[in-house]
Amino acid sequence: MTAIAITGASGRVGREAIQAFPDDALTLFSHSKSDDLETTTLEIEDRAAFAKVLTDEEVLVHLAANADPRAEWDELSGPNVEGVYNAFEAAAENGLERVVFASSNHAVNMGNTVSPIRPESTVGNPTAIRPDDPTAPDTYYGVTKVFGEAMGEYYADRTGIEVVSLRIGWLLSREELRAECADRDGAGERYARAMWLSPEDCRRVLRRAATCTLETSPVVAHGISRNADRFLSLTETMLATGYHPKDDSSDVIDDELDDRTGLETG
């Protein structure tokens, strides 16, 4: 059993993270209280408060952030810059063994967008991206995630703490994925197909990132499902963490199209 602290526990990814660790000792933090979830309120921009609450944990899964890819800098710099520094510093100060930092596909997506003002889009023939390729943020949000990855590398080298920077794709249910693809143009649908992360695969990759044995640190990992249309490479992530995704956006979307076609022609 591992003692794991999760920030941003009431968020979308945070709720999957809770389910990812059914047999571990969890300490849950959130920005505000939720009616359906028991968490401790934590303002991640408060450095002293952050350091004070991480006392008995072994691993920090740091998900708390402003997750809006279209947010302006002043909305991001507090939680996504100061908050990230506070997370790594609190972990190091309290002797934690590992930090899993929630990075994003937006840290590397600029080269494959159809336009700099359309971060959630993908060109027809995207370039494959491996974890050790140069970063290419597509938004201010992406810039803050590049910062977080750099902070993780710094703390891993400086303090010896293990760090996994997990570039999370687009967490959607199957129904939400179908709806997004139906509502988007070709570039938007390609992005959804490439970046989909199913709830089940989200739990799988978070568990591996937090508990697997690491041969090296820091590790940059790609948190997407095994989508046929992906351009984020999964090979390195699978080798480094043992993550084996099971779901594929094409199965979800194309099966739906096949079902509709059958109804129309039957």
- Output b/e per residue, 50-89; b: 16+ Cβ within 10 A: bbebbeebbbbbbbbbbbebebeeeebbebbbebbbbbbb
Please indicate whether residue 85 is annotated as part of the active site: no
Write down the catalytic residue from 85, 141, 155, 243: 141
The rounded radius of gyration (Å) of the Cα atoms in the chain is: 18
The arrangement of strands across the sheet holding 98-104 comes to 40-41, 25-30, 3-7, 59-62, 98-104, 162-168, 219-223
Please check whether residue 174 is in contact with residue 201, taking contact to mean a CB–CB distance below 8 angstroms.
Answer: no
Distance (Å, whole) CA 94 – CA 206: 22
Please check whether residue 53 is in contact with residue 42, taking contact to mean a CB–CB distance below 8 angstroms.
Answer: yes
Name the one residue in this structure whose structure tokens are 């700099």: 116
Task: Enter the DSSP assignment of 134.
Answer: P
Q: Are strands 170-171 and 59-62 parallel, antiparallel or unpaired?
A: unpaired
Could you give the residue numbers annotated as active site? 141
